A and B are shown apart, each in its own frame.
Chain A
Amino acid sequence: MKMRRLLMAIVAASMFVTTSWAEPDAKDAQEAFTMPEALQKLISSVDDKGSAVISAEAKTYFDGLPSHAKRLFGEAVTNEYIGTPTQLRDLLSLKLNTSKLELVLTNNCLLCHTNSAYQNGPTLFSLDPVAAGSPSYMDLKLLLNDVHMRHKLACAGCHGGDPTGNMAHDHPAEWPADHDQRIADPKWIPQFCGRCHSDAKFMGQFNPSLPTDQLDKYKGSHHGRALLEGRNPRAAQCVSCHGVHGIQAANSPASSVYAKRIPETCGKCHGDPKVMAGVKLDDGSPIPTDQYEKYKTSVHGRALLEKGDIGAPACNGCHGNHAAAPAEVSSVAQICRTCHARNGTLFDGSRHKQAFEKNGWPECERCHSNHAITKTSDAMLDTSKGGLCADCHDRFAKEKAPTCKATAAHFHDTIVGMSKATVDYKGIAADLAERGLDIEPLDDERRNLDDALKTSRSQIHSFDRSDFDEVAKTGLDTVAKMKVLTETAEQDYSTRGHGLLVAAAMLALLSLGLWLKIRSIERDQRKGR
């Protein structure tokens, strides 16, 4: 017992000593920073109109920085990397945290390339590249948020050079030397990014779950082949979709390859006839450029872009991303089946399967279209003009058209009947509930009907009357059950009414008797008086 107390006392004492030692040290560091004259001058500088360039807010931020960060500022100014008040203002206004700030202030590339005294438009990073006349990828804020920058891969990681050296004097004007060539034919880029991104061991240090097969896939993709085989230098490579400075992880909503932004990113090229000029489909016809517009109106596009359902397929959902390729006729149906499995299986067992194969039609797309795929509607089954089944059979299978039409009409009527019942019963249930009746059984059945309706609609893909009837029977039975339930509830209500009528009659009888009694008593009283 005593030992333990002693031990605790020692531990406490040693902790006290450590903390009391640590404190003066920190104080020393605080006091050690003295503001260099040049930095003081920059901070207190005024613009043409006489107002301070560095805002009070930025000054407060500066004052709150630890002294080693202040010292780094001082050194950068003394060494003339930070040379203009606006440059200092921009750096302060980002309000970077200390570790990011250290990264920036020890990176001479960055300091020099944010200094407008040394750089002009194309090589100057600023907060507002448009105003500075720079390309949009020279945005300082985006650069500092870049996923590579966050993992400490800065300028030199791609551009080479030494960020701690002073290159103000020996840095060539045009660097690297083959700059123009690189811009004109970006064939080198995939290989360049692949240096790291194809190295599983290296990437594993940062994000072990990140795939490293992008380059391989890209080489086999239409984009990759067009670029690498030298057919089209405009073909998309890494940078086209991911950007340059300011690359974000794909699961970040700010990324240009975030699920919701993919259609827009792909559409930037594929929706621009100028960019797509000269690109041909396999059959030699020019590639269309309306996919993005169509997609926006499609059921998938609306789910993704309007409802924000990021599970809905974007361009890459069907075409792949790094291995992007147009879907082949034979594979369209397989792509759809990754999500719409049941409908696919039903179709495989249907009579249409052979007919479609014979004609060389892509299965799903034939009826549902591709980029502009709309929400299916029961009207597709309509046998009057404009109905899908009827139109197709009239054109391609005239001999079977009467049977087909009868089947389609049967599908249509059954499904529309059930669909109408779900809507009707909603109103009926609300009305019954209003009158104080129990609608729980009816609601349960309505949920069953919803399910049955979904399965029945899907069962259409078997194109078989008896198969369909088997499935639809559940729904039709439910409709019948709901009808009975509604009648029971109505009966219940009228029983209530009748009961009330009887009770009211009894009350009226009693009231009448009472009234007569009062009169008789009062008559007697008057006589008695």
Chain B
Amino acid sequence: MSTASPRSGGIFGWLDERYGISPLIEYMRHKEVPLGAHPMVWYYLGGMTLFFFVCQIITGVLLLMYYQPGETTSYESIHYIATKVPFGWLIRAIHCWSAHLMIMSLIVHMFSTMLLKAYRPPRELTWLTGFGLFGIALGFGFSGYLLPWNELSYFATSVGTDSVKSVPVIGHWMLLVMRGGEDVTINTLYRFFAGHVVILPLVCFGLISTHLLVIQRQGMAPPIHAGTSTHGMPFFPNFAMRDLLLWLICLTVLATLAWLMPYGPKLPGMEWELGAKANPLAPAYPGIKPEWYFLWIYQLLKEFPPNLMGMEGPQVCLLLVNVLMGSWALIPWLDRKAQRGKHSPTFTDVGFAVIYFLTFLTLKASDLGVAVTPTNDAATAIVASYCAWVTLGIAGVTTLTRFFLYRHRYFLLSAAVLTHIALHGLVGWSYLTVGAVTVVVTAIVLTVSGLTRSGAEGVES
């Protein structure tokens, strides 16, 4: 194996002779994964996400062999798979577990990329395709959720698709197209099914190819002060084999989880017990929640009043979500310092601020099992304060680590978000009011400090 030219015999030789594969291998052998200031673990997350995605394809195809979309068959066929088909429970459990783990590793991957500024030039396209893939993963989750046609998924989909109508002008039309009618019916399931097994996979393959291609072409992003350490690990075989090892471990974890908890860990937004079949005429019941990665939007929608600034509350809320998501996609162009290969502590802090923001909303939406009656204001306040304490705890640990271990000195934005959380959760002020005040105060502070520092640049560490 140590010889520079690959074996010339066998199938490989036959293929190499015709298609010239050895230069590619040679290319990958010389391509190096940078070893540097931060732990290597962050480099494995993309591969891990890819592995879970492959699991999704395989188990998804297997499920398709028995799944029959239809009013009288969707629920029944999933039930048949989960109870009667040999190892059907395993295939379904792996499909569900792998879906959640994929989104988890994807989110961690995205935040690590963001905090390590790997999006900086020349890798803007990697970030953009990655962001697109994140959107597609959410689409997979949302469309797949409806397919068992059970009560929980039916109502979650009703609520989820309903938000589309707040889009100006074409909102209603979009709702009709998405649902295949005014309401969520079996027509919606047909559309979601087509999206889940054909449309999204096609788009996804395109984006994944681009994402992988640019990564293979450019290599993984080195730490921001490149030059101090130039050594790296060959991508092939060293890194690729480590990837493989990790995937094997992931598979074992998947199988074990599927055996231990075939219907999920029973956390809010993370369970897939079949329950009762969907009945469009049954009234909704308390405790309807979307999947956990949508919980923050769900909670944000709850924080908005019915009407705000002459618009409908949900409309304003979704506008805000879109602006936030849009800015997130445009980060490579917003972060001017990273563009020039310099540290950008502001954007590091943005990353942490976003993490705290999402953590608090997700925790609050999941109730922590405290609020039993949904209309109980006192219980809601208790939940808010619990969630605030947990979030502040997490923030305390991360901030201390940043301060002492990584010598970060810029905490303005994360401090603003944490103040917002504390004032809402601990003092009990309205989420929106405090939010607006915090945004305004932060904007003023930013402008003032920007003005005073405009002369003297380079203060940041």
Contacts and interface: CB of A to CB of B under 8 A. Distances in A.
Contact, chains A and B (beta carbon distance below 8 A): yes
Contact of B89 (A436, A440, A500): A436
A166 interface: no
Interface in A484-515: 496-497, 500, 503-504, 507-508, 510-511, 514-515
B93 interface: yes
B248 A511 contact: yes
B2 A500 contact: no
A503 B249 CA distance: 12
Interface string A506-527: 0110110011011001101100
Contacts of B242: 518
A528 interface: yes
Contact of A500 (B238, B245, B248, B259): B259
A434 interface: yes
Interface in B228-245: 234, 237-238, 241-242, 244-245
What's the dominant secondary structure at chain B's contact region? helix
A272 interface: no
Contacts of A522: 238
A508 B271 CA distance: 29
A231 interface: no
A508 B251 CA distance: 11
B300 interface: no
B1 to A, nearest CB: 7
Interface residues of A, number: 25
Given A507-B251, A522-B238, A515 B245 contact: yes
Nearest to A438: B83
Contact of B241 (A507, A514, A528): A514
B148 interface: no
Contacts of B296: none
A86 B51 CA distance: 85
B279 interface: no
B248 A507 contact: yes
B250 to A, nearest CB: 10
A435 interface: yes
Interface in B267-319: none
A439 B242 CA distance: 42
B69 interface: no
Contacts of B93: 436
B203 to A, nearest CB: 32
A438 B84 contact: yes
Given A497-B259, A500-B256, A507-B251, A440 B83 contact: yes
A514 B244 contact: yes
B327 interface: no
B2 A528 contact: yes
Contacts of A528: 2
B238 A504 contact: no
B249 A521 contact: no
Nearest to A528: B2
Contacts of A440: 83
B245 A504 contact: no
A518 B238 contact: yes
Contacts of A497: 259
Contacts of B255: 500, 503-504
Nearest to B251: A507
Contacts of B249: 507, 511
B1 A434 contact: no
B262 A511 contact: no
Contacts of A517: 241
B241 A518 contact: yes
A521 B237 contact: yes
A434 B252 CA distance: 21
B231 to A, nearest CB: 11
Nearest to B82: A436
Given A438-B84, A511-B245, A514-B241, A504 B1 contact: no
Interface in B65-107: 82-84, 89-90, 93
A87 B241 CA distance: 98
Contacts of A518: 237-238, 241-242, 245
B83 A504 contact: no
Contacts of B83: 437-440
A507 B254 CA distance: 12
Interface string A432-457: 00111111100000000000000000
B252 A507 contact: yes
Q: Which of B89, B249, B259 has the most CB of A within 10 A?
A: B259
Contacts of B84: 438
Nearest to B84: A438
Nearest to B242: A518
Nearest to B237: A521
Most buried by A among B1, B241, B252, B256: B252
A59 to B, nearest CB: 37
A507 B249 CA distance: 8
A436 B257 CA distance: 12
Nearest 3 interchain pairs by C-beta: A436-B262, A438-B83, A436-B89
Interface of B: 1-2, 82-84, 89-90, 93, 234, 237-238, 241-242, 244-245, 248-249, 251-252, 255-256, 259, 262-263
9 contacts: A435-B262, A496-B90, A496-B259, A507-B252, A508-B252, A518-B241, A524-B1, A524-B2, A525-B2
Given A438-B84, A515-B245, A518-B237, 6 more contacts: A437-B89, A496-B90, A497-B259, A518-B245, A524-B1, A525-B238
